[in-house]
Chain A
Amino acid sequence: MRSGGARWGLRLATLAVLGFIYIPLAVVIVYAFNASGTVSWPPAGFSLRWVQAALENSGLQDAFKTSIVIGIGAAAIAVILGSLAAFAVARYRFFGREAISFVVVFPIALPGIVTGMALSTTFATVDLPLGILSIIVGHATFCVVLVYNNVIARLRRTSRSLEEASSDLGADTWQTFRHVTLPAVRSAVLAGALLAFALSFDEVIVTIFTAGGVTTLPIWIFRSFRLANQVALVNVAGLAAILLSVIPVYIASRLTQDTGGVTGAKT
């Protein structure tokens, strides 16, 4: 039996935490559809004029497109390197195998400011001009782990004997990969890619160090935030950033749930 007081206390605490996290987000969304151009409560009324303005603002447009390109690029690199590393670690024995997990996970633990600094210095040393490409490479360093972790978890849950069964039934290595291994890990790869995209999309610190003159959406928001005449537009941009982070993360979590149980099912 839990006392009524304790239960109400818990409910209140839960509400406080949820409010703490979500009220600021709600405020951004409300202001994105505000009829007035100033940030003052209560909002003047519902209107799409700032959404309209955002769609016509070429600076915001470019920043948005740049962020999407970078997110896709970083996710693509993460998919290739992360999946390969996961396959190697899960299916083969080689020298330094145990170290790979650490090497792959490390960049996400590293302070962004250090990653940014180090990359910036390195790019300068090898004469890689700063720009979209350097940002993609920078983001990929900490995105690889998302694909790696998802895929290796799936591979570990997928019984090794499935691949042996396929080979036993006459399938060569490539056929086994195509018909058995790939279907088992496909949704994990996709989930990792979506998470990588979401992480890249709102990254700021490493981006600042590696951007050169390029403006991504978060950087555009950061710059415009201080300009009085842009305040309403910033809220619309913020809404876009929220959607492009939340939706991929949501889909990714659905992907790992749905098939996870079935693939791992052993009798």
Chain B
Amino acid sequence: MPILGSGRRDPHEERVATLTPQARPSDRADAASPPAVELRHVVKRFEGDVGRRVARSVDAAGGARGAADAVVAVAGIDLEIGDGEFFSMLGPSGSGKTTTLRMIAGFEQPSEGRILLHGEDVTERPPFDRDVNTVFQDYALFPHMTVGDNVAYGLMIRKVPKPERERRVGDALAMVRLSGYERRKPGQLSGGQRQRVALARALVNRPSVLLLDEPLGALDLKLREEMQIELKAIQQEVGITFIYVTHDQEEALTMSDRLAVFSQGRIEQVGSPAEVYERPATPFVAGFVGTSNLLGGAVAETIVGRAGTFTVRPEKIRMGEPDAPAGDDESSALGVVRTVVYLGPDTRYIVALDAGAELVVTEQNLSTSSMEALAAQGRRVRLTWKRQHNFAIGG
């Protein structure tokens, strides 16, 4: 469990440092306009039965504890999300992504901190009084209503006149390519179709911010990839801010303008996909986004020639014969191929270095066949990569 108030570092300072101007659409638009969503040092503790039990087990294990009797789901988050941005929250299970999203929607009250939408403090407002809509992980379509009535629900509640309602429902269903399904019941739709109805039901209200909690989690891989492209296209079309929760790093990297990496109720790093992938701010980010490939301590001094912790991306490393020469601008290390994983388009080699660490190398199967790739197992190799691809972490 994360420990509350362990103020070792100021998360806000670190965040500002990782932001580049071009990665923030809010800066592009109008410097004076407030961000679509702003979280100011938001903390969420869950009290009660579950919390108490977990807290006690932490005590018994000799761990430190936060506030007595509570699970700290979100341990102090500061975040600004710009207008029209596709923003992802990425992190392992239990890292506080859903809780953060639910606080923005208004289903949970923060224990501390403020939540602002377009500069307006909405911390105390109920969900129905916030200009935000949610696409739920289980879709939460009303089973007793038709698809048309489901999509029209928000408009019906806000007493939008019937002709306009029908037109907007038709438009929304057309956008998710479900025209003609108005009369069906949710029970008569496939998983992907339900997902799109849920999206249409949220979008029809033209919210300023759309929250999506692992909306593609229940779909199979192929449908998921299709929906990723579709979602991104819809977001660009409507220009609404999307806040997208996922624990799939590939999904977050391919779809987002920016993303935040969560761990144990904190944000480890915020930045554009390229920044987070190429220049992870902490070992956790390096490990979670892609393959870690960490070089630290004595190993780093031997190979990189400097003290610190470094990361190298697997696809930047070249694998060759042990006596292959390395250029001046290159780092290099000798090792033995311990494991070969054939992945179709490319192959992943896990190499145990003589210096002590292990590095993962991926190579495209340009000419190699699976037989050749697998034969590399146990072979001595030299790994080389450009020095500029050694990234110091959290320095």
Residues of A within 8 A of B (CB): 93, 159, 161-162, 164-172, 175, 179-180, 183-184, 259, 262-263, 265-267
Q: Name 17 interchain pairs, CB-CB below 8 A, sorted by A.
A: A159-B138, A159-B140, A162-B142, A164-B105, A164-B107, A164-B140, A167-B128, A168-B128, A168-B134, A169-B202, A170-B128, A170-B154, A170-B158, A184-B144, A262-B187, A265-B143, A265-B186
The answer to whether the Cβ of B310 comes within 8 Å of any Cβ in the partner chain is no
CA distance A119 to B43 in the complex (A): 53
Chain A residues in 8 Å Cβ range of B138: 159, 161, 266-267
A267 touches B194 (CB 8 A): yes
What are the 4 tightest A-B residue pairs by CB atom distance, in nearest-first order?
A169-B154, A165-B140, A161-B140, A167-B127
Q: Are B144 and A183 in contact (CB under 8 A)?
A: yes
Is B143 touching A169 in the complex (CB atoms < 8 A)?
A: no
Assuming the contacts A164-B140, A267-B138, asked whether A169 and B107 have C-beta atoms less than 8 A apart, the reply is no
Give complex CA distance A164, B218 in Å. Answer: 20
With a CB–CB cut-off of 8 A, which chain A residues contact B191?
Answer: 267
A93 to B194, CA, bound (A): 32
| Complex: A66 Cα to B127 Cα, angstroms | 49
- How far is A169 from B169 in the complex, measured between Cα atoms in Å? 14
* Extra A-B contacts (4), CB below 8 Å, given A175-B157, A262-B187: A164-B127, A167-B127, A168-B132, A170-B157
Q: How far is the CB of A81 from chain B (nearest CB, A)?
A: 26
What is B's interface to A at a CB cutoff of 8 Å? 48, 105-107, 126-128, 132-134, 136, 138-144, 153-154, 157-158, 185-187, 191, 194, 201-202, 205, 218
Contacts of A266 in B (CB 8 A): 138
Decide if B143 touches A168 in the complex (CB within 8 Å). Answer: no
Give the chain B neighbours of A93 by CB distance below 8 A: 48
Contact of B142 among A165, A167, A168 (CB under 8 A): A165
| A265–B187 CA distance with the chains assembled, in angstroms | 8
Chain B residues whose CB sits within 8 angstroms of the CB of A169 once the complex forms: 128, 133, 153-154, 157, 201-202, 205
Inter-chain contacts of A164 with B (CB < 8 A): 105, 107, 127, 134, 136, 140
Could you tell me the distance between the alpha carbons of A259 and B141 in the complex, rounded to whole angstroms?
A: 15
Instruction: Tell me the bound Cα distance from A162 to B201 in angstroms.
Output: 13
Q: Contact: A168 with B133, CB < 8 Å?
A: yes
A195 and B218 alpha carbons, distance in the complex (Å): 39
CA distance A161 to B142 in the complex (A): 10
**How many Å from the CB of B3 to the closest CB on chain A?**
27
Complex Cα distance A184/B140, Å? 13
Distance of A153 Cα from B17 Cα, bound (Å): 52
What CA separation (Å) do A159 and B186 show in the bound complex? 14
Least distance between B357 CB and chain A CB atoms (Å): 44
B141 proximity list for chain A (CB < 8 A) = 165
The residue from A161, A179, A262 contacting B143, defined by CB atoms under 8 A apart? A262
Tell me the complex Cα distance, A83–B157, Å. 26
Residues of B within 8 Å of A179, CB to CB, are: 142, 153, 157
Q: Are B134 and A171 in contact (CB under 8 A)?
A: no
Query: Are B128 and A267 interface neighbours, CB within 8 A?
Result: no
Residues of A within 8 A of B194 (CB): 267
For residue B208, give the distance in angstroms from its CB to the closest CB of chain A.
14
Residues of A contacting B139 with CB < 8 Å?
A: 267
Q: Which residue of A lies closest to B190 (CB)?
A: A267
| Inter-subunit contact B144/A262 (CB<8 Å) | yes
Q: Which residue of B lies closest to A93 (CB)?
A: B48
CB contacts (< 8 Å) of B128 on chain A: these are 167-172
